[in-house]
Amino acid sequence: MLKGHTFPRAFSARYHVLDSILAKEMQSLLRRIEAHSTSAVPQKKTIHNSGVFENASKLALGFASLLRRSISSSSITTEHPAVGDVVVQPSGRRSAAAKPLILQTVANVFTSYFAGKRFEEDGADPAFSRMVTDFDAIFHEVNQGYAADFLPWLLPLHGRHLARLSSWSHRIRGFMMEALVGGRVEEWEAKKAENNNGEVEEKDYVDALVAHVRSEASPQMSWDTAMFALEDIIGGHSAVGNMLIKILAFIAVRPEVQERVKSELKAALGGEKREIRISDRVVMPYTEAIVFEAIRLISSPIVPHVSNRDSTIGGYKVEKDTLIFMNNYDLNMSPELWDQPEAFKPERFLVRDDTIGGYRLKKPDYFLPFGAGRRSCMGYKLVQYVSFVVLATILDQYKLVPIPGEDYSVKVGNLALPEDTYKFIFEKVR
């Protein structure tokens, strides 16, 4: 059952199934990397948000509040080849665009985990592909950081953009209702009846939401709120996917970082040919540290808070209703806190631990990429687990080779990426 400020029990109790979901999705990802790297014809994106990323609206709303503002439901569906230039290596391998590969994989991890369903990638299931591009378009939009974030009276100037955002959210709602929730209420009711109106085992987040809406438990939840909750959580795949693509950009131009991951992989797998598991994190702290280091350097802003009473912070008086914005960039880039803050050095998160005869990951107290306190990120473990497994799986099989002349710099202060973004050469290493 849902409790205030927590995920339902079904969410955390299902961490053990994440490994098998990840194993399946990694097999699919590796197959798709091969196909994208060797096919003679550039991959086609079946569903494309026409004009989604150009002329980005100057407006950002919280993801959840954005979805609550659905107004119109016009649909934009066009089809065209989207991969662009294809660079062929002397080895015969082609460059592959990271976005469709990574986003669809992470989306399937999320839909499998929270709603027990996966979908065919690469346009074979157009509704799924469109859901992924719609979420990504919204994620890009809400990450721009506009004046209207601070000056709400500017919102009326953004009517056209709000309508576009609203139409993406409407399409997402349609997908959620049809593909993820469809039939689940009836299923749940049948189980309940079978069980003489007793408790129904909640196998995933959708079950937990259905149970909560159907129950008399307090606080009451409407269907609309439940759908927003589901959309918010499934939408988390865009954050993880975009961050992973940025991680690939960081390491594509740093072969020495890839080499260190490979030596951790060698030690962890000991020559065994098997999938990467979440538990491998313990013996691969450098690989996990790459995720922290990328998040630190990206330094995306943290959701503003509002004080609900008069208070003090560090001796400063803070009145009730004050907007409080934590300066994440300053925390992450301060030379007082970090050695060479501009440099990409995952090892800064490692400490020697003689009890294990090696290194372990350490998150300093002043590093707060997921916020702090009772409103901190609910998805932080999922972020760490999924990014670790995806990153380690790719590097176990491939060397990431930059395309000559391509810009792999990673922008600060924004987790999102434009639609057409980095391409890489995936050179097979085993």
Residues 47, 204: Cα–Cα separation, whole Å: 28
CA dihedral 15, 24, 250, 346 (to 10 degrees): 40
Residues 20, 113: Cα–Cα separation, whole Å: 10
Residues 346, 343: Cα–Cα separation, whole Å: 9
Identity of the residue numbered 29: L
Task: Pick the binder of ligand HEM from 56, 233, 252, 297 (CB under 6 A).
Answer: 233
Task: Pick the binder of ligand HEM from 147, 303, 323, 343 (CB under 6 A).
Answer: 303
221-238 as b/e, with b when 16 or more CB fall inside 10 Å?
beeeebbbbbbbbbbbbb
Please compute, for residue 97, the number of CA atoms within 13 A of its CA located in the half-sphere on the CB side. Answer: 20
Considering only CA atoms, which of 395, 383, 363, 362 is closest in space to residue 268? 395
Binding status of residue 240 toward ligand HEM by CB under 6 A: yes
Task: Pick the binder of ligand HEM from 8, 100, 123, 236 (CB under 6 A).
Answer: 236
Minimum CB separation of residue 301 from ligand HEM in Å reads 8
Binding status of residue 221 toward ligand HEM by CB under 6 A: no
CB closer to ligand HEM out of 60 and 200: 60
**Stretch in the footprint of ligand HEM (CB under 6 A) among 119-127, 141-149, 260-268, 302-310:** 302-310
**Stretch in the footprint of ligand HEM (CB under 6 A) among 169-177, 191-199, 280-288, 297-305:** 297-305
Task: Pick the binder of ligand HEM from 4, 5, 40, 92 (CB under 6 A).
Answer: 5
Binding status of residue 65 toward ligand HEM by CB under 6 A: no
Contact 285, 360 (CB under 8 A): yes
Minimum CB separation of residue 245 from ligand HEM in Å reads 11
Minimum CB separation of residue 8 from ligand HEM in Å reads 12
- Copy the structure tokens of residue 212: 């909560």
- Copy the structure tokens of residue 415: 């987790």
Residues 253 to 282 in contact with ligand HEM, rule: CB under 6 A? none
Minimum CB separation of residue 254 from ligand HEM in Å reads 20
CA distances, 370 to each of 14, 25, 28, 328 (Å) = 21, 25, 29, 10
CB closer to ligand HEM out of 61 and 240: 240
Binding status of residue 165 toward ligand HEM by CB under 6 A: no
Binding status of residue 290 toward ligand HEM by CB under 6 A: no
Identity of the residue numbered 20: S
Contacts 24+ apart (CB under 8 A), 262-267: 262/395, 262/396, 262/429, 265/392, 265/395, 265/396
CB closer to ligand HEM out of 123 and 235: 235
Residues 354 to 383 in contact with ligand HEM, rule: CB under 6 A? 369-372, 375-379, 382-383
Helix then strand count (H, E) for the chain reads 13, 11
Minimum CB separation of residue 64 from ligand HEM in Å reads 8
Minimum CB separation of residue 350 from ligand HEM in Å reads 20
**94 assigned to a ligand binding site:** no
Q: How far is CA 402 from the centre of its chain?
A: 23
Minimum CB separation of residue 300 from ligand HEM in Å reads 6
Residue count at the site for ligand HEM (CB under 6 A)? 22
Minimum CB separation of residue 369 from ligand HEM in Å reads 5
At residue 339, the 3 state secondary structure works out as coil
Provide the binding-site residues for ligand HEM, judged by CB under 6 A. 5, 232-233, 236, 239-240, 243, 295, 302-303, 305, 369-372, 375-379, 382-383
Residue ranges for the known binding site for heme are 377
Residue ranges for the known binding site are 377
